[in-house]
Chains A and B, each alone.
Chain A
């Protein structure tokens, strides 16, 4: 078992004929993901990925014709909220939106519409997720940094996630599923959602959480962990040296009105019994100390 994706995931890529969409679709296919369709309005009837995948004009067709049940979105920010809504209307179970710089007010509406429809959205502005054992990846996390194992990882970041995964793999600690929830202020899936899934997932024995400054999601996650989680956990929080009031690359990474500091998040996690690392490279030894094997 794994969370969110598995061998049964039948993926459609929205924006498969674009530069990014095509590049990462090849990588997903190489990793083992079943890509069953692409959608690019106006290019229906063509094929993509060296003729292996049919392209449709609409999500409705992709679902009806080839049974797609998950979508990965690479369309530009101006069109992405509509693409998410189209995927939701077509009733796929999981939507992963990679696109960054989507206006927050657009995401606010999209978030609530999807909640009413009961559809899971990951992102936007996220690297997606990879189920290591099931060889299923939806997104852009590099293929060759993983090692199969029992640690579930959830993060607000992209390359920082790869850094931590690589450090774990180098230390012989494998992963069950790695999930990037995205760096925007409004994202479909939060830390608590993913920690809850890992907590229930028999394949996951320990968890790693990578947070950063801005908002109070890490503090709320810490309260959840204290209440619900009995599996060992390690964490890293980026941005101890970030100045207040500045947006640090990610739209959501900003300390405002004294709230959202790295120290506040570290303290909350520490109080919840989570081992907090000073450097990403310390994560493997913290996991070992908590009794995590290979």
Chain B
């Protein structure tokens, strides 16, 4: 789960990272009032979870509270990569002398928490990696004892932090590490970490991505989820315990298992169609869950056909077949359905599907082709 900049900064501030947090506003009037209470100039920043805010005009400097209000008015309601801006952050602007990139990631290859840092702050690290890979330090931390003082020194020397800022730098990296571990993050990034003209270290932008598997033990962080940036259907799916991601195609997919669900999407594409979603219904798949999955898929008006692909292992095919037939009667909208059920109790599932006049297929390739044809015929 990605956290908004202001949420990420709230967390980093709690862990002692020096920064000017600022305050969020949802109206130009609020933005103006906030700007009156803090040192000027101020920066007005769109709070969205997509990159490229600056380029899209979502970050503006204001010399006066009135200008802050005008910028907020322009930014609020603006669409950045399809996301409507509903909140802006108003914070004191900094006079930047130099800037750095500093992040911690869950490093799958090194099986460690790894520091990634560069003296080229303010640009995306992927960009630096492609243009000046030698400007990046990647340093895996010991997985059992964590961040040590010598690790902090090495990063500070690599970045050329001056002796009078070492104590403050220690506080930044220590705070970032404690925040990473304390929130069960996948990524905790400060970009840029700036040295201001008056010689202070400050985190100007921050991004934290949390490990979804750990959210159960962080109910306080779960509350930071931004529902405005989640598709309505994805919210409904999450609440129903279904893994779902909305895409742009016309073929709805309902599958058990994540790998098979991705494969089903790939084969729809290979058959000349476009998948409308990723959906892993999980194990079991009783009628109520199947019904919820149908509602979520059909909520998308682009969906012209549904492909159901179930490999019965733990999940019993006849149970899913009955679930499909039962759930179908509750639907508001009907589109052609192609059903492929194999594995445990597939033989018992076949007559149930036949009686309900559903299109069936033996192989996944055949099912994908039939779903694509059905979507075209229906269009």
- Tell me the A residues contacting B by CB distance below 8 Å: 23-24, 77-78, 100-105, 108-109, 111-113, 140-142, 145, 155-163, 166, 183-186, 210, 212-213, 215-217, 220, 236, 238-243, 246-253, 257-258, 262, 278-281
Contact = CB atoms under 8 A, between A and B. Distances in A.
26 contacts: A100-B213, A104-B186, A108-B106, A112-B143, A140-B314, A145-B343, A157-B258, A158-B259, A159-B259, A160-B263, A163-B260, A166-B343, A183-B259, A185-B106, A216-B108, A236-B263, A239-B266, A248-B262, A248-B278, A249-B258, A249-B278, A249-B280, A257-B126, A258-B126, A278-B270, A279-B270
Given A163-B263, A279-B270, 12 more contacts: A103-B217, A105-B181, A141-B313, A159-B256, A160-B260, A162-B313, A166-B342, A183-B259, A186-B106, A240-B269, A252-B108, A262-B266
Interface stretch (B87-95, B109-117, B193-201, B220-228): B109-117
Interface in B234-258: 243, 245, 247, 255-258
B339 interface: no
B206 to A, nearest CB: 17
B261 interface: yes
Nearest to B368: A279
A246 B245 contact: yes
Contacts of A253: 258-259, 262
A159 B311 contact: yes
Contacts of B144: 109, 112-113
Nearest to B209: A256
A6 B314 CA distance: 23
A79 B117 CA distance: 35
Nearest to B267: A279
B56 interface: no
Interface in B253-297: 255-263, 265-270, 275, 278, 280
Nearest to A237: B266
Contact of B184 (A100, A103, A184): A103
Interface residues on B, range: 35 or more
B216 interface: yes
Nearest to A158: B257
B365 interface: yes
B118 to A, nearest CB: 14
Contacts, number: 165
Contacts of B262: 160, 212-213, 238-239, 241-242, 248-249, 253
B213 A104 contact: yes
The 5 closest A-B CB pairs, nearest first, are A249-B258, A157-B259, A159-B257, A160-B259, A103-B214
Contact of B108 (A77, A103, A145, A215): A215
Nearest to A108: B143
Nearest to B105: A256
A77 B260 contact: no
Nearest to B257: A159
Contacts of B63: none
B279 to A, nearest CB: 9
Given A249-B243, A249-B280, A281-B364, A105 B258 contact: no
B212 interface: yes
Contacts of A78: 216-217
A103 B263 contact: no
A163 B364 CA distance: 9
A104 B258 contact: no
B263 A280 contact: yes
A102, A158, A217 pick with most chain B CB within 10 angstroms? A158
B259 A104 contact: no
A264 to B, nearest CB: 14
A112 B268 CA distance: 41
B299 interface: no
A162 B260 CA distance: 9
B211 interface: yes
Contacts of A186: 106, 108, 111
Nearest to A155: B259
Contacts of B255: 159
Nearest to B2: A245
A77 B245 CA distance: 24
Contacts of B112: 108
B277 to A, nearest CB: 11
A104 B211 contact: yes
Contacts of A236: 263
Nearest to A249: B258
Contact of A242 (B265, B313, B364): B265
A237 to B, nearest CB: 9
B314 to A, nearest CB: 6
B351 to A, nearest CB: 20
Interface in B107-131: 108-109, 111-113, 125-126
Nearest to B280: A249
